[in-house]
Amino acid sequence: METRRIGSLNVSVVGLGCNNFGWRIDPEATAAVVDAALEAGVNFFDTADVYGKGQSEEFLGRALRRRRDEVLIATKFGLEMDKRRRGAKPDYIHQAIEASLRRLATDRIDLYQLHQPDQETPIADTLGALEELVRAGKVREIGCSNFSVKQLREAAKAGGGAVHFASVQNEFSLFHREPERDILPECARTSLAFIPYFPLANGLLTGKYRKGIKSPEGSRAQEKWGPKVFTKKNLIVVEALIEFAQSRNHTILELAFAWLLSHEPLASVIAGASKPDQVRSNVAAIGWRLTDNELAEIDQITSGTY
């Protein structure tokens, strides 16, 4: 398994997004997914305190308890757990980290990420609290999510070089390419690692959803946001991407991973999984290196979708 850097961390280029834990799957199914990831060489597990209302961290902690030193755990804070538990004020950060450490059954978090900017709290105050956690040995690296270039620069200036984000996690996929315009160049310029969320565009890039084929009940396409994602236009593009990949003896899933990993600031593709086979498929998808001509052809196919 190839690794890339997030600050001092060497993370596997395929990570595991843990948002399904505690929401879609129970502790036993979580353990099976985690076991499959470890067997396949995945060492990077990304979760958040709000996933499954805390159960994602709890289930992940149970599954990794005896193998904690073999892995790197990333979690997030800042989204609303309830009316009192939210945001990025220093007092709350100290409360949130203790709750996450307890649920994860660990004494440190390898990458602790602010889930979204907190407009009510000066970023310097947030960074000061995070620096305290690093100095206390409770956190190894800090990151952010859903930040704009302007907000990244404000954080870099506020940190003053003493403490800084090692990564930014924003939405990025073949169907959501906004980071190419500004965030990725900023990451390259400042040596900031980029982590994409929704790398498979909510399932569009798995190959399970096809034009003219009714999606099964209970699938992602049937959820309330499904009609906005699984549009006729998007499914036509999916068919073209499938044809492109198959003409080169690959799957659309392999194409999705290869395209993401062609962007140098990208550290790890943290695709979610609810079954062991999905993890194994994700790991098997990383062997394709796209040429410049192939990347140009992909741009033509996806033009107008982002």
92 noted as active-site residue: no
d(CA 201, CA 243): 18
Q: How far, in Å, CA of 121 to CA of 1, rounded?
A: 39
CA–CA dist 250, 212 (Å, integer): 22
Q: Which of 51, 92, 197, 209 is catalytic?
A: 51
Tokens of 160: 């003053």
Residues 76 and 111: their CA atoms lie apart, in Å, by 8
Q: How far is CA 15 from CA 12, 100, 149, 150, 234, in A?
A: 6, 20, 24, 28, 26
Task: Provide the annotated active-site residues.
Answer: 51
